[in-house]
Amino acid sequence: MILPAEKELRAVLARFAQARIEHDVRPTGRTSRDLEDSAYTLCVMTGSRTVEQALLAADALLEQYGAGRVGFSQEDETLAA
Q: Longest C-alpha distance within the chain, in Å?
A: 47
pLDDT tens digits for the chain (81 residues)? 688 999 999 999 999 999 999 999 999 999 999 999 999 999 999 999 999 999 999 999 999 999 877 555 555 445 554
- Give the pTM: 0.79
Is the dihedral angle over the CA atoms 33, 48, 3, 78 positive or is it negative?
positive
- Is residue 77 within 8 A of residue 69, CB to CB? The reply is yes
- Does residue 74 come out as left (phi exceeding 0), alpha (psi in the -120 to 50 range) or beta? alpha
What percent helix, strand, coil does the chain show, rounded to 5? 80, 0, 20
